[in-house]
């Protein structure tokens, strides 16, 4: 069952829609009130962030005396409604109801109001809503709660002069602040959870692969130790071909062979210093010269546990036949370069090998000098058949 992945394009579309919605949310308004008592020449101030700009209102400041309708009700739905204040600048205070917000605002605008404050209907407390007043866009219009509007109305009716200063508050309403916090929190949680989940999955996968690789390496090293113990050791002596002036050098340390040095003979008949080749075989398990795999040559095939190794093994088994033939030719030519010569005057097994090369081509049984190591069958070096045939023909012509 496939899991649905969250497309980045869908996430961007969601963010775009969210910001479009945010743009339609009204801004808060700071309402500063000044109650002037002409009887004792005193002023009382009051301020609150209790207003909400209309959806079509310009987000600017406004100030002036507060005036109320001169009628039996304060709804200002009658076209002929007048207000208690006419000195500019002044702000109209109107109760919600009976007609649209746009009609109330247009009426106050015709009477010269600088701004319009509409307070909510009775029994609504401090609750405010976003006002839509299409057609009345050129004047500041805010809504305040019924409780605040009624308080201002009572002060005016008691004979106090009320001045108001309207200033732009927070960009979005209180509910939007809570929504923003919720949205940011959820988004942060989702992103963090996804990041941590991916990190855990990636780390677990890396750890599993590392453990499998380490287990595989330990297994191969253990098999390589067994294989190294089955390889022949030889102590070079004075007069051996390898210690002579025309003798070869160790391909690992690039130093000439000396008498009394212990060398190890691989299954491909190449020999190296024991101290040089043993660490190499533990890590690589192949001849440094011809890349012959000692595990395969000795018939040691460790179990392959992980899928990667099985894929590699399958790919290696499906190699073309031409590659195998070329490898055999390369091994034959390399072995004939001098490293295949491992005879010694005191080595019976090497004498057998010499006899086999002279024409018998029998299996050579190399016996480890260590009495504790078992005898191992090592394939003799076979020359190129086509090369031998050409050589025989050449010999007949010369004779």
Q: Percent of the chain beyond pLDDT 70? A: 66
Sheet of strand 271-273, all strands in order from the earlier edge strand to the far edge: 232-235, 262-265, 271-273
Q: What number does CATH give the domain 25-172?
A: 3.50.30.30
Q: The tokens of 124 are what?
A: 């609504």
CATH architecture of 208-398: 2-Layer Sandwich (3.30)
Summarize the confidence of residues 352-368 as an average pLDDT: 39
The pLDDT value recorded for residue 20 is 54
Q: What is the pLDDT of residue 360?
A: 41
Instruction: Examine domains 25-172 and 208-398 and report if their fold is the same.
Output: no
pLDDT for 373-384, tens place per residue? 444 444 444 444
**pLDDT score of 339:** 37
Instruction: Reply yes or no on whether the pLDDT at 44 is more than 50.
Output: yes
Which whole number is the average pLDDT over 340-357? Answer: 39
Distances (CA, A) of 360 to 334, 347, 354: 22, 19, 9
Q: What is the pLDDT of residue 9?
A: 57
Give the pLDDT band (50/70/90) at residue 133.
confident
Average pLDDT, the chain: 74
Residue 205: band (very low, low, confident or very high) from pLDDT cuts 50, 70, 90: very high
225 band by pLDDT with thresholds 50, 70 and 90 = confident
Domain ranges of the chain: 25-172, 208-398
41 pLDDT band, cuts 50/70/90, is: confident
Average pLDDT estimate for 225-246: 85
206 pLDDT tier (thresholds 50, 70, 90) = very high
Q: What is the pLDDT of residues 311-320, one digit of tens each?
A: 444 444 444 4
**3-state SS string for the chain:** CCCCCCCHHHHHHHHHHHHHHHHCCCCEEEEEEEEEECCCCEEEEEEEEEEEECCCCCCCCEEEEEECECCCCCCCCCCCCCECCCCCCEEEEEECCCCCHHHHHHHHHHCCCCEEEEECCCCCCCCCCCCCCCCCCCCEEEEECHHHHHHHHHHHHCCCEEEEEEEECCCCCHHHHHHHHHHHHHHHHHHHHHHHHHHHHHHHHHHHHHHHHHHHHHHHHHHHHHHHHHCEEEECCCCCHHHCCCCCECCCCCCECCCCCEEEECCCCCEEEHHHHHHHHHHHCECCCCCCEHHHHCCCCCCCCCHHHHHHHHHHHCCCHHHHHHHHHHHHHHHHHHHCCCCCCCCHHHHHHHHHHHHHCCCEEECCCCCCCCCEEECCCCCCHHHHHHHHHHHHHHC
pLDDT tens profile 176-198: 556 677 788 888 899 999 999 99
pLDDT tens digit sequence for 63-94 = 999 999 988 788 888 888 899 888 889 999 99
């Amino acid at each position: 069952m496939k899991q649905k992945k969250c497309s980045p394009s869908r996430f961007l579309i969601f963010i775009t829609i969210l910001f479009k919605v945010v743009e339609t949310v009204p801004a808060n308004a700071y309402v500063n009130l000044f109650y002037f008592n002409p009887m004792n020449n005193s002023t009382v101030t009051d301020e609150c962030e209790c207003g909400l700009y209309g959806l079509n209102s310009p987000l600017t400041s406004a100030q002036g005396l507060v005036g109320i309708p001169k009628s039996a009700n304060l709804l200002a739905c009658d076209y002929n409604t007048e207000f208690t204040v006419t000195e500019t600048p002044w702000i109209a205070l109107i109760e919600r109801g009976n007609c649209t917000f746009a009609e109330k605002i247009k009426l106050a605008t015709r009477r010269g109001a600088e701004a319009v404050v509409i307070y909510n209907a009775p029994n609504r407390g401090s609750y405010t809503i976003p006002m839509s007043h299409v057609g009345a866009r050129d004047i500041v219009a805010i809504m305040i709660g019924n409780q605040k509007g009624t308080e201002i109305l009572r002060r005016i009716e008691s004979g106090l002069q009320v001045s108001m200063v309207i200033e732009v508050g927070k960009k979005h309403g209180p509910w939007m602040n809570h929504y923003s916090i919720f949205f940011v929190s959820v988004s942060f949680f989702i992103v963090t959870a996804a990041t941590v989940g991916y990190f855990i999955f990636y780390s677990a996968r890396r750890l599993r692969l590392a453990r499998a690789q380490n287990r595989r390496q330990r297994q191969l090293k253990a098999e390589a130790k067994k294989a190294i113990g089955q390889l022949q050791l030889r102590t070079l002596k004075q007069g051996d071909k390898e210690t002579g002036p025309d003798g070869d050098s160790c391909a690992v340390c690039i130093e000439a062979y000396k008498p009394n040095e212990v060398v190890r003979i691989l299954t491909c008949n190449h020999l190296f210093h024991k101290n040089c080749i043993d660490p190499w075989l533990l890590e690589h398990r192949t001849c440094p010269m011809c890349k012959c795999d000692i595990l395969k040559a000795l018939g040691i095939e460790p179990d392959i546990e992980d899928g990667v190794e099985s894929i590699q093994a399958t790919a290696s088994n499906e190699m073309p036949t031409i590659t195998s033939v070329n490898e055999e030719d390369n091994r034959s030519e390399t072995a004939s370069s001098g490293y295949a010569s491992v005879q010694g005057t005191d080595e019976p097994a090497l004498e057998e090998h010499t006899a086999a090369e002279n024409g018998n081509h029998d299996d050579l049984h190399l016996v480890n000098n260590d009495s504790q190591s078992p005898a191992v069958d090592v394939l003799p070096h076979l020359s190129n058949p086509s090369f031998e045939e050409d050589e025989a023909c050449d010999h007949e012509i010369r004779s």
